[in-house]
């Protein structure tokens, strides 16, 4: 009886692992990871976005408005002086994150299914 139970549990574990590995190899599910000064603020699963929406991130350093759509994200508005984050436009792959230096805000995409380790530019 006990052996059966253990066998059952192990079987479930194996099945779970197999499903996990299969899922991992399937269509990419990009996640936007938003952090300020190294602290994670928000994670958005971009494959689950049905309606485009915007998200305002504000603190003492300033304000950034993020536009979120299925599979992609951009900073549509910011009150930083250089506007580098806004000029970068839509990001849908994980090569280079959106960085707003004056506000220490970083938006990086992970799990885009592209096997890149980093980006230059």
Partner 1 sequence: MKKGLLWVLLALCTLTGCQKAPEPVEATTFAMDTVMDFTLYGDWDRERAKEVRDWMLERLGWLDGKLSATKEGSDVGQINRAGGESVEVGTPTAELLSQSLELCEVTGGALDITAYPAVKAWGFTQEEHRVPAPDELEALAQSIDYSAVRLEGDTVTLPEGMELDLGAVAKGYAGDVLAETVRASDIPSALLDLGQSTIMAVGTKPGGAPWRIGVVDPAQPGSYFAVVELEDMAMGTSGGYQRYFEQDGETYWHILDPDTAAPARSGLASVTVVSPSAFLCDGLSTALFVMGLEEGAQLWRDHPELEFEAIFVTEKGEIYRTAGLEDRFSLAEGYEGREVVVLE
The pair of three-digit structure tokens given for residue 1, joined into one six-digit string? 């009886």
- Which residue, 63 or 104, is less far from partner 1 as judged by CB? 104
Least gap, CB of 2 to partner 1 (angstroms):
10
The pair of three-digit structure tokens given for residue 83, joined into one six-digit string? 């506007």
Q: Which of 23, 58, 110, 119 binds partner 1 (CB under 8 A)?
A: 119
β 62-69/72-78 pair status: antiparallel
Question: Where do contacts with partner 1 occur on this chain (CB under 8 A)?
Answer: 3-4, 6-7, 10-11, 13-14, 17-18, 21, 35, 37-38, 72, 74, 81-82, 84, 87-93, 95-97, 99, 101-102, 104, 106, 114-121
């Amino acid at each position: 009886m006990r052996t059966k139970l253990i066998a059952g549990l192990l079987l479930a574990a194996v099945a779970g692992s197999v499903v996990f590995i299969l899922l991992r190899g399937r269509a990419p599910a990009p996640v936007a990871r938003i952090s300020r000064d190294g602290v994670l603020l928000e994670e958005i699963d971009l494959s689950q976005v049905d309606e485009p929406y915007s998200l305002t991130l504000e603190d003492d350093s300033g304000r950034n408005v993020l536009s979120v759509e299925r599979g992609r994200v951009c900073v549509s508005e910011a009150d930083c002086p250089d506007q580098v984050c806004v000029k970068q436009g839509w990001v849908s792959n994980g090569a280079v994150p959106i960085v707003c230096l004056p506000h220490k805000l970083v938006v990086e995409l992970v799990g885009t299914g592209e096997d890149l380790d980093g980006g230059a530019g």
